Amino acid sequence: MSSEVSPDVSVSFVITAFKDHYLEAAIDSVFAQCGVSSFEILVLDDSPSKAVHDVVGKYDASIIRYIRSDHQLGGQLGLDYGVRLARGQYIKFLNDDDILEEGCTSRLIAALEVSGAKLATSKRHLIDDEGAFLKEHLFSLCPFDRDVLVKGRDLLEFLRVFPLNFIGEPSTVLARRRDLLGKFPHISSLNNRVITSVNDLAMYAGLLIDGDLAYLSEPLSRFRLHAGQSQRQGSAEVLGTTGREVLLSQFDAILGGEMGEAGTVRARPLFQSGGAYTRVPLRKVFQDAGTITDQALSQFSSLDRRREAIAGGRAEALNNWFGQRQLPAPLAKELGEKGSGERLCLVIVDEQPDRFGLNLSIAAFRVARYYCPSLSCVVLSPSPESYNRAVFQDVEFVGYESGALAGALNQVVECMESRWFTVSRTPAEITPQGALILMAELAEANEQIKAVYGDELIDRGGSTQSGLFRPGMNLDLLLSSPADMSRHWVFRQEYVVSVGGFRGEAGEALEFDLILRTLESEGFGSCGRMDEPLFLVRPDQQSYSLDPYMRAAHDHLERRGYGSAVVQQGAAAGTLRVRYGHPSSPPVSIIIPTKDQLHLLQTCIESILEKTTYPNYEVVIVDNNSETPEARAWLDGLAGMGIPNLRVLRYNKPFNFSAINNHAVREARGEYVLLLNNDTGIISPEWLDELMNHAQRPEVGIVGAKLLFPYGKVQHAGVVVGMRGPAEHVCIDAEANDPGYMNRLMIDQNYSAVTAACMLVRKSVYEQVGGLDEEAFAVSYNDIDFCLKVAQAGYLTVWTPYSQVMHVANASQTSVDKTADDKKVKRFQKEQETMFERWLPYMGNDPAFNRNLSLRASGFEVDHRVELNWQPQKLVGLPTILAHPADQWGCGHYRMIQPINSMREQAVAGGMVSFDWLSVPEMVRLDPDVLVYQRQITDQAVEHMQYAKRILKKPTVYELDDYLPNLPIKSAYRENMPKDILKSLRRSLKHVDRFVVSTEPLAEAFSGIHPDIQVIENCLPICWWSDLTSLRHQSEKPRVGWAGGMGHTGDLELVEAVVKELADEVDWVFFGMCPDGLRRFVKEVHEGIEISQYPRKLASLNLDLAIAPLEDNLFNRCKSNLRLLEYGACGFPVVCSDVEPYQAHELPVTRVKNRFKDWVDAIRMHLSDLDETARSGDRLQQVVRKNWMLEGENLRRWRDAWTKF
């Protein structure tokens, strides 16, 4: 979609045109620009007529390019589209009704270049319809008394409190094309959010978060205010308020911390070299000039609400999480191509047009269609005539009468050409990456799939506050939480037509009703799920009645044969509760294993007998070798009483929980068996009735209860497979009356597993799957394994909160299992590993959970490690890499972090960089194609490699870029290196499939240590190094310098005398390490900084010559030429030691022997002709940019070394 920069075009003027009235004047002002060597004009026509086309036709077609998109774009996307199609180095935006002053563009370019800013702007004049100057407004006020460079982050902190756009409209600003490209979904979004009305500020924020603003105090443009502007339409207030809320919420999330009160920014003179930064009180300037009081400002910017959110830790919420789900442009393109064969129609129901919610929904639709051109939109409205059709040229409107929505929907569905459709209600927004991924997923959907659903994000006050992260198909959760679970499904059009469409009698629950009918006729396999937010909703602007959902659920149950079922409101708002009304009460055998612990057993038995209202049960106590006289006597007495529904069985073998229960089930007389721990107590009389309410359903195999600790908090509310190990209870220690995430602590639902502390099973199902596994799971995980076997056999496991039982937890096993502690640990580890091996696919993909939720949490908490849970490259067949760097500094970045990041950005591969060890379930969730370990030698690292090989059966790679067995004597890192480093390396290399190193000499040095050694040389990441510029002749003396970290003591000793000798002839500049003995000879010493800032800092040294001394020893001979590449990327000419790393590839540098005279002579030679020296720096820069960047074939070669075996 994007063009390449042309060397023949300096500036691209991007004009988004919706009207033609003032367009000619705008274009003429471009042709009148002075000081611009070469330019092009792109006019993007978004108008409803041919008027714009006719105006453009009057001009030279070789300079002005007329572009009309196949679809209406709107202003935001028009700017983005223009940037992508532009060929100039600079982008100058221009509205169709604004005018540029003659020197505008050249002055703004000069401001960018002299300052290194990312955005340049100026004061602007306001003009009216006729072009006459208007009185200055507060927003057009120039707050500076000179041309200044303003710290970008300071400016955002100011705008965060005082969102006044004094920077100007797009017509006032200029930026480099490279800084605008690659933003997803477009240049005016923040954190993936569509921002209306104030989208220009959002675009500026994207540049200023890590860049500065050049502000010129001279008016260089004219902004026209007239009646026809979109800003002055009826929807402006709603869109402005909503847009401002979203913008400010994203500012809070991105900037973090508390909002400042002072309202000052740091600024320095723009064209004055070496000028100091001073604080400019912007807030005072604007408040003195206007009428905005502190109270009005607080209300306008929602300061009190936002400060409360910040103080409560809610400001970030899911804003930054959602913001990380930005698709790199090449991957977005590939996904779009994959899904291009599918057609999806977005049917929007707008019941209240006067609220202007449709504008928000359509803005999001257009962003999604920007990437998915086959996406179409139909709007259903009770008053379709009320809309401005010029604003909605790309939307079809269909009217409907009150109560007749289903009929109108069916009419639309029957006539549509799209294969799929989804129904939403304003102001819901379809998400851009969600639409792309959905279309790619639909391209793979087989004919069995009739409907697909995803997740939702919830907006409150402009902030992405939370989400509905839905599990896999969960019948009981669907029935219990119908509205939350049935919104925004995607249906196959042909299927919906074939079943008669939506039923009018379903009312508001028409989607819910259709889903239930689909499950009845097509089965669970007909519904697909994707763990991706498809829509963003605003619940406070949408309401519904529960009654239609109750009727739809009741109709569904009747069709399934439950004529006596009762559907009523559940315990939590918006939820339902189903009583199936079974006609009989089959016998249940309650099995209670025990040993000693008489007080627990007595409490359990007495509470069952006293409180249970279910009429048909027996209690079977299984004594496993009780030893205390009291327990033995009590059990003997009980056995001798001959109570019909109370029996005592004996199990005289060693403790084996699985065998004990299996023995009892064989002896049980009931049609159902209930496994119950002896440390439980009945607190709800209908506890067994509630369990049997579900157990008698033919599709259900297991039912579990809500267990509470004696102190009243939750002990068991279902089990998630893969959580904190092979499996764990969710929401332990939640309050008993806490509704939980999506009300999941208060509603019936399906889980993959429940605890055997209270588990009801149909006896025939128990026997069908072979009961509990006595061999592999004698003590732990037997219940989880059993539940998964039952699921595998095709039955559901239901957890119900309406059956509540008290549970001490672990009292039984802790007291009864007398195995020695060390043997217990080994047995537990073995059982864990068996669980991993037997149920590996479940581990990171429990269908009752969602991959966006954390496996390390105790409940339903979002995992903010987006890399772990979001791997969209898998959809287009790209490999996934799990990388474990050795550090977060030099080699960790160059050999691991930046290659992975570059592969992601260029759609070469995907993956995750992790600085901690992922659990087995987390690795299963990521499902990497390969695991890469860099310089990992610890016991924990080796154990992780073994797990990867033995359990995941994934290939592994080891990475190293230094010859660690031979660190130089003077190296600062030598003392921290293990004495037996070679032995440690051999131990690690035993467990990997490939050994990748950075140079051929390093591969030779390690020859024989591994059978598969490959060499991948260092390259520079383009995001850091591709566009650096440095200045020359910036001091009276030539600037000669060195850059490097600690550990170069020996290297710098080589040139110590050289530095002293030339101290009067050059200005020495050291960046990083500078020995104390040299400091008085060095003009500038720059301390080390964070690595991401290192490239620009290095370039800013403005060196006329750089030196790279290197000792000649085995360690250094194995090193790479990275230092030369870094210097070259900055355009520095180089004198370096004539040693092996710097001899390779014949880079255009000056090499010298490590002798004093050779160094001095070479440096003086360069100083004698600085112009030629500069040209040598240019040549080196050209070679580095052409051959040594982390892109193209270099990147693919790296990927293949890691992934192709």
The domain limits of the chain are: 11-311, 343-579, 588-843, 871-1015, 1022-1189
708-743 pLDDT per residue, tens = 999 999 999 999 999 999 999 999 999 999 999 999
428-480 pLDDT per residue, tens = 999 999 999 999 999 999 999 999 999 999 999 999 999 999 999 999 999 99
φ, ψ (nearest 5 deg) of residue 952:
-80, -25
Q: Is 182 helix (H, G, I), strand (E, B) or coil?
A: coil
119-159 pLDDT per residue, tens = 999 999 999 999 999 998 888 899 999 999 999 999 999 99
The better pLDDT of the pair 1071, 814 is held by 1071
pLDDT at 2: 58
854-889 pLDDT per residue, tens = 999 999 999 999 999 999 999 999 999 999 999 988
The alpha carbons of the chain give a radius of gyration, in whole angstroms, of 35
177-194 pLDDT per residue, tens = 999 998 999 999 999 998
Mean pLDDT over each residue of the chain, to the nearest integer: 94
What residue type is 728 in one-letter code? E
Close Cβ partners of 81 (under 8 Å, ≥ 6 residues apart): 44, 67, 69, 73, 370
Average of per-residue pLDDT across 495-507: 97
CB 440 within 8 A of CB 871: no
Q: Does domain 1022-1189 have CATH number 3.40.50.2000?
A: yes
CB 674 within 8 A of CB 783: no
70-112 pLDDT per residue, tens = 889 988 899 999 999 999 999 999 999 999 999 999 999 999 9
φ, ψ (nearest 5 deg) of residue 1197:
-65, -40
Q: What own/partner pairs with CB < 8 Å and gap ≥ 24 does 974-983 have?
A: 978/937, 981/937
pLDDT over threshold 90, residue 932: yes
pLDDT over threshold 70, residue 520: yes
Tokens at 2, concatenated: 């994007």
Tokens at 983, concatenated: 């032995």
Q: Is 2 helix (H, G, I), strand (E, B) or coil?
A: coil
pLDDT over threshold 70, residue 503: yes
Cα–Cα–Cα angle for 606, 608, 609, rounded to 5 degrees: 65
φ, ψ (nearest 5 deg) of residue 512:
-60, -45
Question: For residues 1131 and 1178, what is the distance between their CA atoms, to the nearest angstrom?
Answer: 5
pLDDT over threshold 70, residue 625: yes
CB 432 within 8 A of CB 370: yes
Work out the pLDDT band at 398, boundaries 50, 70, 90: very high
pLDDT at 955: 96
Average of per-residue pLDDT across 771-790: 98
The better pLDDT of the pair 1048, 812 is held by 1048
Question: For residues 1118 and 142, what is the distance between their CA atoms, to the nearest angstrom?
Answer: 58
Output the pTM of the full model.
0.93
HSE-CB at 89 with a 13 A cutoff on CA atoms is 13
Cα–Cα–Cα angle for 388, 129, 168, rounded to 5 degrees: 85
Helix 510-522 with 547-559: angle, nearest 10 deg: 20
pLDDT over threshold 70, residue 679: yes
Work out the pLDDT band at 973, boundaries 50, 70, 90: low
pLDDT at 975: 67
pLDDT over threshold 70, residue 818: no
CB 575 within 8 A of CB 481: yes
CB 722 within 8 A of CB 699: no
pLDDT at 114: 86
Whether the ω angle into residue 427 lies within 30 degrees of 0, i.e. cis, is yes
Burial of 257 (0-12, 13-18, 19+ CB in 10 A): exposed
11-311 fold: Spore Coat Polysaccharide Biosynthesis Protein SpsA; Chain A (3.90.550)
Close Cβ partners of 834 (under 8 Å, ≥ 6 residues apart): 776, 777, 781
- How many contiguous H segments (helices) and E segments (strands) does the chain have? 47, 46
From 351-360, 374-383, 660-669, 1020-1029, the region with the lowest mean pLDDT: 351-360
Give the residues across from 456 on adjacent strands: 468, 535
18-70 pLDDT per residue, tens = 999 999 999 999 999 999 989 999 999 999 899 999 999 999 989 999 999 88
pLDDT at 228: 67
Close Cβ partners of 1168 (under 8 Å, ≥ 6 residues apart): none
Work out the pLDDT band at 966, boundaries 50, 70, 90: confident
pLDDT at 769: 98
Question: For residues 1059 and 76, what is the distance between their CA atoms, to the nearest angstrom?
Answer: 55
From 262-266, 339-343, 626-630, 926-930, the region with the lowest mean pLDDT: 262-266
CB 999 within 8 A of CB 1141: yes
DSSP calls for 194-257: ---S-HHHHHHHHHHTTS-EEEEEEEEEEEE--TT-GGGSTTHHHHHHHHHHHHHHHHHHHH-S
C-alpha 517 chain-centroid distance: 35
pLDDT over threshold 60, residue 934: yes
What residue type is 731 in one-letter code? C
Average of per-residue pLDDT across 404-423: 98
Q: Where are the beta strands (DSSP E) in 949-1083?
A: 956-960, 994-997, 1013-1015, 1039-1044, 1067-1072
DSSP calls for 453-492: EEEEEEEETTEEEEEE---SS-HHHHHHSHHHHHTT-EEE
Average of per-residue pLDDT across 1013-1038: 93
pLDDT over threshold 70, residue 284: yes
Q: Is 801 helix (H, G, I), strand (E, B) or coil?
A: strand
Into which CATH architecture does domain 871-1015 fall?
Answer: 3-Layer(aba) Sandwich (3.40)
pLDDT over threshold 70, residue 1185: yes
pLDDT at 809: 86
pLDDT at 232: 41
Locate all alpha helices (DSSP H) within 98-190, ordered by sequence. Answer: 104-115, 152-161, 177-180
CATH (residue range 588-843): 3.90.550.60
From 534-543, 597-606, 957-966, the region with the lowest mean pLDDT: 534-543
CATH (residue range 343-579): 3.90.550.10
Q: Do 11-311 and 343-579 come out as alike in CATH topology?
A: yes
Tokens at 92, concatenated: 């100058």
What residue type is 295 in one-letter code? Q
Q: What percent of the chain has pLDDT over 90?
A: 84
pLDDT over threshold 60, residue 814: no
pLDDT at 231: 43
